[in-house]
């Protein structure tokens, strides 16, 4: 029997929404592959840097893992610039929202604000203040954001650095993005 779909929400039924919910839950299983495809697409994004954004993502994640960061933080390191696959100027916010439902609030805020922390290392060249991170000094995630930015992210532009291959980090992507329940 063909399913009847509504043409406007204010004429919908509970049964139709139950069907939409179950279909949406099945769609969720596609999220890890979408994330992996976005990450792979970063191998074409250089934006003037000496390494691709895929290498940068892998190096940031590899450095985090070698410093014994948690799996969630390693995942965040891998995905922190994933927004550059869409739009570089607001990539931090895009990336943070992409991971938001799948990580803790602390990790979300680290990704959301990471450009403000990065500013210490180069904003002077654009005539902008390098101390934007000071606005977050009282946040419980401030120390993690400093470690993330200063010890990993801003150092992860070395083409000679031996990065973990994306395939080795793929289980993390599947673990975090594949288990979300609507």
Which residues would be at the binding site for Fe ion (CB under 5 A)? 81, 153
Of 38 and 178, CB closest to Fe ion? 38
Cβ atoms < 10 Å from Cβ of 144:
18
Give the pair of three-digit tokens for residue 127: 């005539």
Residue 105 CB, nearest approach to Fe ion (Å): 21
Sequence-ordered alpha helix ranges (H) in the chain: 14-28, 31-41, 53-66, 71-79, 91-99, 105-122, 142-146, 166-177
Residue 24 CB, nearest approach to Fe ion (Å): 32
Of 64 and 172, CB closest to Fe ion? 64
Residue 77 CB, nearest approach to Fe ion (Å): 9
Quick one: DSSP state of residue 117?
Answer: H
Of 81 and 116, CB closest to Fe ion? 81
Of 116 and 153, CB closest to Fe ion? 153
CA-CA-CA-CA dihedral for 103, 107, 108, 112, to nearest 10: -150
The count of C-alpha atoms lying within 13 angstroms of the C-alpha of 69, restricted to the half-sphere facing its C-beta, is 22
Residue 58 CB, nearest approach to Fe ion (Å): 11
């Amino acid at each position: 029997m063909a399913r009847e779909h509504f043409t406007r929400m204010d004429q919908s039924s509970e049964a139709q929404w139950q069907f939409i919910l179950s279909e949406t839950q099945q769609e969720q299983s596609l999220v890890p592959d979408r994330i992996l495809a976005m990450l792979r697409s970063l191998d074409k994004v250089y934006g003037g840097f000496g390494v691709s954004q895929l290498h940068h993502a892998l190096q940031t994640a590899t450095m985090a893992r070698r410093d014994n960061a948690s799996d969630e933080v390693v995942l965040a390191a891998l995905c922190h610039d994933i927004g550059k696959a869409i739009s570089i100027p607001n990539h931090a916010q895009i990336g943070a929202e992409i991971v938001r439902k799948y990580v803790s609030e602390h990790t979300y805020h680290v990704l959301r604000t990471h450009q403000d922390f990065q500013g210490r290392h180069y904003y002077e060249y654009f005539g902008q203040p390098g101390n934007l991170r000071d606005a977050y000094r009282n946040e419980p995630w401030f120390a993690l954001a400093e470690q993330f930015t200063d010890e990993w992210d801003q150092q992860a532009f070395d083409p000679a650095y031996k990065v973990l291959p994306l395939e080795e980090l793929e289980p993390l992507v599947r673990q975090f993005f594949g288990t979300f329940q609507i």
